[in-house]
Structure formats: structure tokens, C-alpha cells
A = this chain, B = another copy of it.
């Protein structure tokens, strides 16, 4: 029913990378500080994101991480899915038969899953950052 801390951290890190100057690499340390994330925990997360095809990394002096694709083409849903395995699996494990309404309830939950999936896969990191800026502007005007 919730998003895992791990996925939350992954989103933070991805957003920080997305907000950084394009082409710039950030090290785990910097990301951990900017996002207030435990370093070693973040390490695992970045690794997962890398293996998920989202990040590119470079070892050694001057190494670090950067997004492997433009922020416009990376969705919130994709990140959560990489980390948590799935996103909003309300229908997971629910039987499709065995008692009255079984198929119906499963279909219903599946539809809910589809909706959040669609929404979160349609929101890119760029969208999120823009929403953030729009919100700041609004706050300023008030």
C-alpha cells in the first residue's frame, strides 16, 4: 500500500541527477548529502538503477553517476518499478475464482492498478521538476 523507502530514495537521487547540469557526474557522497540518504543504502539503489538501464557510472577519481537518458524520457513509474519490482500491485495474489464476486473483485483491483500505472508511467522526471517550479512560482505570488 506504500512506496518503499528504497524507491523513495531512488526517486530523490534520480531527480537530483535530473536537476544537475546535463553531462555532469555526481558521486554517491554528493547525492547522499543532497538527498539526505544513508550512503551505503544509496549505493545499492544506484546500482539497481544502473542495472535497470537508467544510470551510467564511472569508477575511480572523478567518477560518479549520471542519467543514461534525458529526464524527459525517464518516468516516475519506471524508477519505482525497477526498485520495488512492481508498482501498485493491488490485484496481486487475489484469486479470480472460489467465491461469489471473485472474478469481479480481481478485475476491479486490476483496473485500479492499470490506472496508477498509466499515470506514473506518463510522468517524466522533467515533468516533475517543472511541476515543482510551477508550484514555487505560485507560492511566490501568494
Interface residues of A (CB under 8 A from B): 1-4, 8, 11-12, 15-16, 18-19, 34-36, 76, 84, 86-90, 92-94, 98-105, 107-109, 111-112, 115-116, 119-120, 123, 125, 127-132, 135-136
Q: Tell whether, in the assembled complex, residue B84 and residue A1 are in contact, meaning their CB atoms are under 8 Å apart.
A: yes
- With a cutoff of 8 Å between Cβ atoms, the chain B residues found around residue A119 in the complex are 108, 111-112, 115
- Whole-angstrom distance between the Cβ of A106 and the nearest chain B Cβ: 9
The copy count of this chain in the complex is 2
User: B94 and A3: CB pair below 8 A?
Assistant: yes
Interface centre among A12, A87, A105, A130 (most CB of B within 10 A): A105
- Chain B residues with Cβ below 8 Å from A109 are 3, 76, 120
Name the 8 nearest CB pairs between A and B, nearest first. Answer: A15-B101, A104-B128, A104-B131, A19-B100, A104-B132, A112-B116, A101-B128, A103-B135
In the assembled complex, the CB of A109 is this many whole angstroms from the nearest CB of chain B, namely 7
- Shortest C-beta distance, A14 to chain B (Å), equals 9
